[in-house]
Structure 1
Amino acid sequence: MTGERRDRDSAGRARSARPRDGLGRPLAYGAEGVARQPEGVVRSAGETVREAQRLLDAGMPFHAHEVFEDAWKSGPEAERALWRGMAQLAVGLTHAARGNVTGGARLLLRGAAVLDASPDRTPHGLDLAGLTSWARELAARLHDGRAVDAAREAPRLTRGDRRPGGRERRRPE
């Protein structure tokens, strides 16, 4: 590494400037990538849930994980486990979609265990029972070794009219 320059952000922290795809994988320098989530954004819980759902629906669970990570790091101490568990679900889906089904299943199950420990089953409107069920079902299906489609498998974060797999039914417009 002698003589190599590392990419740094404006605060001087190491941060790769390589563009990334929708699942957060690094691409070659100069390639067209997906805009990164800004780090350290302080959002309300409702804003966190809405932004994460938008990203999950777009097939970008890695980016949703970063939104949950911001909430985990900037939110009240009493909610850190909740947001950490949500981040683990999102990164578990990320790994599964990237083809790392073993790591994906582990993270999905770890996140589900964290959320199961929450005494409030619907904090900020989140459907923890539905999310833990979704995570365990997806983890169980990963045994065949095939990557999953992140957008198709994305869970609904809040309660609503659900179909199997945790997704909300789309009503005709």
Structure 2
Amino acid sequence: MADRDRDDEGRARNARPRDGLGRPLPYGTPGVERQPEGIVRTADAALREAQTLLNEGKPFHAHEVFEDAWKSGPDTERELWRGLAQLAVGITHAARGNLTGAASLLRRGADNITPFADAPPHDIDIAGLATWAHTLADGLPGRHDPPEAATIAPTLRARQ
């Protein structure tokens, strides 16, 4: 059995290239550069980077930015960042054609961010994102083809 890909700390990591939706590509195929893991960013930097990735049709990679924020941010915002990550994964599943899974993740993400609606942190458009997520989730079952990720990307902040 061949050795598994490992990072500098010896943890198993799949070094195969990936596309913008995080799907593995054959070794040697050019892929989308992966987001480094474990990066501590300010909330502003995380939101800007994630918005850029979403706009570029790379929701899987935006999810990794949100995941870093939820792991490194304050405990009081843990569910906010987790919910944002779930929204990004919902887009990923929709674009991959898993419309039922996408709808479920979009609703779960909206539910996780909604408690922050009364005092939205970091200028995040909580109400707008929750509405967007539910509207998209409600419309997915009737689709015949998966949407392009960039065409369904939300705007994260009320003021960009």
Contact kept, 8 Å, 1:121 with 1:127, in 2: the verdict is: no
Contact kept, 8 Å, 1:121 with 1:129, in 2: the verdict is: no
Name 1:43's counterpart in structure 2.
Answer: 41
Q: Measured at CA, do residues 92 and 57 of structure 1 come closer, stay the same or move farther in structure 2, by a change above 3 Å?
A: same
Partners in 2 of 1:95 and 1:66 — Cα distance?
A: 15
Contact kept, 8 Å, 2:117 with 2:127, in 1: the verdict is: no
Deviation at 1:4, TM superposition (A): 3.0
Unmatched tracts of structure 2, length 5 or more: none
Name 1:163's counterpart in structure 2.
Answer: none
Partners in 2 of 1:25 and 1:14 — Cα distance?
A: 17
Aligned residue-pair number = 159
Name 1:60's counterpart in structure 2.
Answer: 58
Name 1:27's counterpart in structure 2.
Answer: 25
| TM-score normalized by the length of structure 1 | 0.88
Contact kept, 8 Å, 2:40 with 2:69, in 1: the verdict is: yes
Q: Structure 1: which 4+ aligned runs deviate by more than 6 Å?
A: none
Q: Is residue 2:141 matched to residue 1:143?
A: yes
Match of 1:76 among 74, 85, 90: 74
Greater fraction of residues in helix: 2
Partners in 2 of 1:121 and 1:86 — Cα distance?
A: 16
Unmatched tracts of structure 1, length 5 or more: 161-167, 169-173
Contact kept, 8 Å, 1:121 with 1:128, in 2: the verdict is: no
By relative contact order (CA 8 Å, sep 6+), the higher-ranking structure is 2
| TM-score normalized by the length of structure 2 | 0.95
User: What is the alpha-carbon root mean square deviation over aligned residues?
Assistant: 1.3
